[in-house]
Amino acid sequence: MDYINYILIALIVIFIVQRFVPTKGVRNITTSELKNELNNKEKQFIDVRTPGEYKGFHINGFKNMPLHQLSQKANELSKEKEVVVICQSGMRSQKASKLLKKMGFKNITNVKGGVSAWR
């Protein structure tokens, strides 16, 4: 019985750690680094928060593509250009970065701390 408990705990720890480990091949930047990149027309900026969150406050230049619709809307993005992803805190944008990576996007940047860190 003890072995099962240890295995369960180990699996839970692995699951939690994977949530917080940055995705391989995804660049992470701070909001202050983002300020230097916002005027770059070669980059695509997407905000993966809900339409309500986006409407409440968003950074100019970011297009709203809610995380739950990203799979369907990703065809609106160019795989040739860098995609910069933001959300409220950095968790959903990290998920979005993983999803984009699986879909074949090569140049992805996640904004650490999200819109909360921007304000």
Could you list the active site residues? 87
Q: Are 74 and 108 contacting, i.e. CB atoms less than 8 angstroms apart?
A: no
d(CA 85, CA 65): 10
C-beta separation of 66 from 48 below 8 A: yes
- Total length of the chain: 119
